[in-house]
């Protein structure tokens, strides 16, 4: 059974930093691209960042480019999102999502971790 | 960047009704489109990919069509368990943008 378990969400002040983790199980993690997708309270889905199966290629939404860094450790079956210079508008539930066939649409999602940016 | 626009933003229909949701891309994306269902308080679920391929386990009352810039998600006979928000997502190239969502309710 595929499982994606996020952690690291917290309350952080504007300008602060946070690192999210997503531990994967039930599939060959190193064989799939992964992404982070967020959802602000009461709002829709926003793709944030994606990374290829090898980690060589990374992609970012304009809204987070230069502030967030996606990475992965295939030896630990873990995906990361380093978030710096956080803003109030980054407040959201952050989902880890598994790519289906190498084309960056998502067949499995984690339960999400809440990031709140507030003073 | 390519924008994805869904219509309507919300709809209310009776059990058994045929429901159609539209997703329009600001530029052509071939058939690189997926649809997701998000029930209240739940995680999104993949329904359809490559515009019309039903994901394993999804009921056959769901179908997708379209290519280029115009796409539709159809529920042939709305059921109470279909109450949810539906999102389209393009994946021809980054950024992998979602539509703003369509909320489906039972009348």
Q: Which chain A residues contact residue B91 at CB under 8 A?
A: 103-105
Residue A101 scores a pLDDT above 90? no
Please, are residues B57 and B1 in contact by the beta-carbon 8 Å criterion? no
Nearest chain A residue to B57, by CA: A107
pLDDT in the model for residue A9: 97
The answer on pLDDT for B104 being more than 90 is: yes
Q: Is A103's CB within 8 Å of B91's CB?
A: yes
CA B79 to chain A, closest CA, distance in angstroms equals 23
Put simply, the chain B residues between 3 and 42 with a CB less than 8 A from any chain A CB are: 32, 34, 36, 38
Classify A42 in phi/psi space as left (phi over 0), alpha (psi -120 to 50) or beta: left
At A102 the pLDDT is: 82
pLDDT at A105 over 90: yes
Sign of CA dihedral A26, A30, A32, A34: positive
CA distance B98 to chain A (A): 6
pLDDT exceeds cutoff 90 at A59: yes
The mean pLDDT value for B68-83 works out to 98
Supply the pLDDT for residue A11.
98
Do residue B89 and residue A61 have CB atoms under 8 angstroms apart?
no
Q: Report the pLDDT value the prediction gives residue A103, as an integer from 0 to 100.
A: 84
- pLDDT > 90? residue A110: yes
* pLDDT tens figures, B62-74: 999 999 999 999 9
Q: Does B65 touch chain A (CB under 8 A)?
A: no
Q: Which pLDDT score is estimated for B53?
A: 97
Q: 3-class secondary structure for chain B?
A: CCCEEEECCEEEECCCCCEEEEEEECCCCCCCEEEEEECCCCCCEEEEECCCEECCCCCCCEEEEEECCEEEEEECCCCHHHCEEEEEEECCCCCCCECCCEEEEEC
Tokens of A45: 């889905």
């Amino acid at each position: 059974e595929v499982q994606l378990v996020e952690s690291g969400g917290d309350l952080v002040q504007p300008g602060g930093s946070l690192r999210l983790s997503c531990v994967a199980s039930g599939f060959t993690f190193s064989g799939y691209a992964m992404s982070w997708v967020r959802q602000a309270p009461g709002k829709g889905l926003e793709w944030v960042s994606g990374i290829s199966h090898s980690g060589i290629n990374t992609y970012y939404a304009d809204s987070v480019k230069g502030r967030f860094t996606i990475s992965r450790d295939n030896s630990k079956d873990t995906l990361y999102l380093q978030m710096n210079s956080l803003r109030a508008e980054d407040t959201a539930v952050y989902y880890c999502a598994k790519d289906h066939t190498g084309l960056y649409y998502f067949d499995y999602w984690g339960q999400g971790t809440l990031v709140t940016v507030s003073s | 960047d390519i924008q994805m626009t869904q219509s309507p933003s919300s709809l209310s229909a009776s059990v058994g009704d045929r429901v159609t949701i539209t997703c329009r891309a600001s530029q052509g994306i071939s058939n690189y489109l997926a649809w997701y269902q998000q029930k209240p308080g739940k995680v999104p679920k993949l329904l359809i990919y490559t515009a019309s391929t039903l994901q394993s386990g999804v009921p056959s009352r769901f179908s997708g069509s379209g290519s280029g810039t115009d796409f539709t998600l159809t529920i042939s006979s709305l059921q109470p368990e279909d109450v949810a928000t539906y999102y389209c997502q393009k994946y021809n190239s980054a950024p992998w943008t979602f539509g703003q969502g369509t909320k489906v309710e039972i009348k």
